[in-house]
Amino acid sequence: MLLLLSCAHASTGLPHRDVFVGTLPQDVVGPLPFDRAALTGKVVLVTFVATWCFPCLADLVSLDNLERQFGAKGFKQVLVGLDLEGRRVLEPFAAEYSLKYPLLVGDDRLRSGTTPFGHIRELPARVLFDRSGQVIAAYSGVVAPAELERKVREAVEARQ
């Protein structure tokens, strides 16, 4: 009986992607726009970073690999930069790394933990949503690239 109560279709009890994404800041840097509507029906990874965070910089290679492997299969990414200096440091960061996904400028609400994302205590931090908008994984700090790739692959290949 316990297995039936914990099946894959059980609700996570967390807010839906629309609630999370709706609280993301509007300010985007770099050449790519941020279209909330384009995330509907997609597997979405929201990653919080800072320009001074070495693991965040090292993680960009993994994020680029995910984009290359799954971008055409219904996978979208959004980065949120939490640097206190905002655009002043995030614009050159986006240009330097030629980001292939939108980079939003984190605001005081995100940094204070007053959004559904809560307090982001370690960077990088990630939240992965399935096509229906449910949270399927969340990571705080460093995660093995193979683990993240596995979760994204499962979500992209899952039938709705």
pLDDT at 9 over 70: no
The reply to whether 89 falls in a domain is: yes
Write the CATH number for 132. 3.40.30.10
- 5 domain-assigned: no
For residue 17, the model assigns a pLDDT of 76
Q: Which of 95, 55, 58, 104 is nearest to 77 (CA)?
A: 104
**pTM as predicted:** 0.87
Residue 34 lies in a domain: no
| Res. 102: pLDDT tops 50 | yes
Before 124, cis peptide (omega within 30)?
Answer: yes
Higher pLDDT, 111 or 126: 126
Matching residue, tokens 């709705």:
160
Check whether 1 has a pLDDT greater than 50: no
Q: How far apart are CA 48 and CA 32, in angstroms?
A: 17
Cα separation, 15 vs 135, whole angstroms: 8
3-state secondary structure of 92: helix
Give the domain extent around 127: 14-29+41-157
What pLDDT shows up at residue 130? 93
pLDDT classification of 8: cutoffs 50, 70, 90:
very low
Q: Give per-residue pLDDT as tens, 41-94.
A: 999 999 999 999 999 999 999 999 999 999 999 999 999 999 999 999 999 999
Spatial separation of the C-alpha atoms in residues 157 and 43, rounded to whole Å: 10
Asked, for residue 35, whether it belongs to a domain, the answer is no
Give the total number of structural domains in the chain: 1
Q: What is the 8-class DSSP label of residue 39? A: G
Q: What is the pLDDT of residue 55?
A: 95
- 36 within a domain of the structure (yes/no): no
Q: What strands, in cross-sheet order, belong to the sheet with 135-140?
A: 28-29, 103-105, 75-81, 43-49, 125-129, 135-140
Predicted pLDDT of residue 3: 29
pLDDT at 106 over 80: yes
pLDDT band at 13 (very low <50, low <70, confident <90, very high): low
Taking alpha carbons only, the member of 20, 109, 103 closest to residue 56 is 103
Does residue 56 belong to any structural domain of this protein? Answer: yes
CA atoms within 13 Å, Cβ hemisphere of 91: 5
For residue 9, tell me if it sits in a domain.
no
